[in-house]
Structure 1
């Protein structure tokens, strides 16, 4: 009886080896099986998707730039339709900002210079202090920073409409706040818009859209202290991809 049991067990092992071992070898060759402490297959797929350009969706639909109409630094009326056919960056700022705006706009000057001579690239900078930031003030500000791109408009107009565009239209906070530096609070984020007027971004290492691009980091704080880095380099890459 014992000999029969040994024979039965041996047959099972032989059948297992014939059927399954070649499959296991194939999986190892195809990198489908990895060490336990490495990413699983789904995580590897997400990692491969990092940096992929995607549309931002809201309520199941691709998010478009809301309609807007404001006056630029030259006294001309500029609308979202003027940017159709162009890839452009949107920011919210104010000229007397003592904190993040100078950093953001110096970074945008670098972006401008990277795409010098590119007719299909532009920037739209909306002031959140339109009472002070008249077209004349905005023109002087643009000249001081070295703005040369003819498609970079510094826009002013009705304050409530600008705040509605920032807060409801983009979800980029802007508002009057007495305790904030300069009396106004806003985020240091840039939005990227494609030639058809859709909000676009890249995906992170988890496959999720980053939505907006960080335009600055706080001064006197190092990355080792947990401070995130600005995303100007990847913004330039994504502008180039959309162009």
Structure 2
């Protein structure tokens, strides 16, 4: 009787171990395309891949008059910040926080931080440089 119980326990434990194989995590970063921010790992072969929002080619001028394109951000961790220089509410705090992040990653060539003006007609090169 005791041996029979041991055999049953062994069999149950064996089934439990077999059924608990680790779940393989997908490589790469997920796409966040739903309002509830549910992550989805979508490969290039997935039919939905071409319908996911992607940032188009761009060419922006920085505070030094130099142009930045999507080629400068390719392959890098790209942190984007959207501001306007006449913003007196949240923008100064955002800029202060981005400055902290910038100091932390200043020497890391794989991290690029860009602040984009949402009012380029008012935020000229000279205004941005100030």
Query: Do both share a fold (TM > 0.5)?
Result: yes
Sort the Cα spacing of 1:23 and 1:104 in 2 relative to 1 into closer, same or farther, 3 A.
Answer: farther
Aligned equivalent of 2:39: none
1:60 corresponds to 2:37: no
User: Which structure has the highest helix share of the two?
Assistant: 1
| Alpha-carbon distance in structure 2 between the residues aligned to 1:123 and 1:100 | 18
**TM-score (structure 1 length as normaliser):** 0.37
Greater relative contact order, per chain length (Cα 8 Å cut-off, separation 6+): 1
From the superposition, tell whether residues 65 and 55 of structure 1 become closer, same or farther in structure 2 (CA, over 3 Å). Answer: farther
Aligned position for 1:147: none
Cα offset, 1:66, TM superposition: 1.8
- Which ranges of structure 1 fall in alignment gaps of 5 or more residues? 1-9, 33-40, 141-243
| CA distance in structure 1 between the partners assigned to 2:12 and 2:89 by the alignment | 59
Which structure: larger Rg?
1
CA contact (8 A) 1:88 1:122 kept: yes
For residues 95 and 53 of structure 1, the distance between their equivalents in structure 2, rounded to whole angstroms, comes to 35
**TM-score normalised by L of structure 2:** 0.64
| Rounded Cα–Cα distance in structure 2 between residues aligned with 1:26 and 1:98 | 64
Are 2:77 and 1:87 aligned? yes
What SS is found at the alignment partner of 2:112? strand
Cα distance between partner residues in 2 of 1:82 and 1:18: 65
How far apart are residue 18 of structure 1 and its match?
A: 6.4
